[in-house]
Amino acid sequence: MLTKKKLCDVPLSNKKVFLRCDLNVPLNSDGSILSSGRIISSLPTIVYALERGAKLVLLSHLGRVKQESDKKRLSLRVVADDLRVKLKQIFEKDVPVHFSPFTSGPKLKEAVESLQNSEVLVLENTRFEDLNNKAESKNNSVLAKEWAGLADIFINDAFGTTHRAHASNVGIAEFVNQSCLGLLVEHEIQQLSVLTNSPKKPFIAIMGGAKISDKLGVLERLLKLVDRLLVGGGIAYTFLKAIGQEIGKSLYDKNSLESAAKLYSEYRDKIVLPVDFVCTSSATSSIEVLDTIPPHLDSLDIGPKTIALFESHILSAKTIFWNGPLGYYEKPEFAVATESVAKVLADHPSAYIVIGGGDSAAAVSKFADKISHISTGGGASLEYLEGKLLPGLSTVSECFGEECSRDCLQEWYNLKKHILSKIVL
């Protein structure tokens, strides 16, 4: 992966630089930004490019645009406004942040052409183009060529979409003259590759979440790498059912039973399944903790004995990967296991800990500074670990011989520190 061109391999001054970020921030119902975490994560590459005199054009999607009426609540204008405030704090002066309501056409071209060095142009939500036969999400080549034709250089810094082939990350990279990875993406790959290349042992993975069918591939790969796989959340019940245990009315996936049984028979010594359960009945909504799930009850969290069992494995581990909540954590009465494990991870004296997944990242957000790495990409981090080719990475220009730096990560660390010291959170 490090044969890809990196940000510090490419001169940016006076160039029209199209930068794909993941600015897909969660919004409040009034349209304001709920959390600007994704904007903050994108700042190192943005600041790097502005410091070097790029004419910087930012592309990002925001939510899903299916019909004309979605456009009103999914405009990236709020993000451009927030970015303007943050850049002023960082540079201690006004940085021009323009906004283009046009995602294609002559007005966009005009806006790009009139951009000056060290100025920013934020394009409207790239998924507005989806109203034209899903041009963005289906990687329409006419759209991708149009964007590529406006750019001298393309930077992919949107790790969260690297597992998808859209016009704004894959198509544009295919048609532009030169492309490279952004600092956030380079950092993500470096952190995740520790897990696949050189994990300190014991290495354990904790897997939960709802849909096992999405996770079978990564489970299989992880089982080859780890010493133990601790299974909780909705996916545990498919394993339990597959090995013949009663799971009552708990969530499971019929179509994944065979695969789960196969994994269990191959890796029986590594897979740690729950031994007690927080059960409920939708009729009475009473809660009981039981060692086995009776036929009429639904288990929505793992119980205290399982939490203790998981803790003992966690404390002896040197490398830990966690994806997926261990229960129906949106309801406080079923969030106990997820919160307890988050706390144990935060207090771990020494392990290298990586969290992947939107819901799992939300569950540890209180302890974010105590976790080695929280991935900005849920699906992307799982597909990377699974060993799949990520189209958003594979389409970026290659780097050869002396034109390539070893890495640009020192820039990422320095900029991140500088940015966090300047912006008002």
Q: Is residue 387 annotated as a catalytic residue, yes or no?
A: no
- Lookup: tokens for 58: 């930012």
Question: Which 3 state secondary structure label does DSSP give 20?
Answer: strand
Binding marks (x or -) toward ligand ADP, 248..287, rule CB under 6 A?
---x------------------------------------
| Residue 299: half-sphere exposure toward Cβ, Cα within 13 Å | 31
Tell me 27's DSSP state.
B
Which is catalytic among the residues 358, 370, 388, 422?
358
Distance of alpha carbon 398 from the chain centroid: 24
Q: How many whole angstroms separate alpha carbon 149 and alpha carbon 267?
A: 51
> Cα(341)–Cα(35) distance, rounded to whole angstroms?
24
User: Does residue 143 contact residue 175 with C-beta atoms inside 8 Å?
Assistant: no
262 is catalytic: no
For ligand ADP, the closer of residues 110 and 246 by Cβ is 246
Helix (H, G, I), strand (E, B) or coil at 142: helix
Q: Which stretch binds ligand ADP (CB under 6 A): 35-43, 59-67, 188-196, 204-212?
A: 204-212
CA distance 79 to 32: 9
302, amino acid identity: I
Distance, CA of 273 to CA of 310 (rounded, Å): 9
Partner in contact with 330, chosen from Mg ion, ligand ADP, none, beta carbon below 5 to 8 Å by kind: ligand ADP
Between residues 202 and 358, which has the closer beta carbon with respect to Mg ion? 358
- Which of positions 346-385 make contact with Mg ion (CB under 5 A)? 358-359
The only residue of 233, 274, 391, 392 in contact with ligand ADP, by rule CB under 6 A: 233
- Measured between its terminal Cα atoms, the distance across the chain in Å is 34
Q: Choose the one of Mg ion, ligand ADP, none that binds residue 251, judging by a C-beta under 5 to 8 angstroms depending on kind.
A: ligand ADP
The question of whether 270 is a catalytic residue gets the answer: no
358 annotated active-site:
yes
45 binds, among Mg ion, ligand ADP, none (CB under 5 to 8 A by kind): none
Give the footprint of ligand ADP on residues 316-355 (CB under 6 A).
Answer: 323-325, 327-330
- Catalytic entry in 5, 15, 38, 52: 38
Interface with ligand ADP by CB under 6 A: which residues? 208-211, 233-234, 251, 300, 323-325, 327-330, 357-360, 378
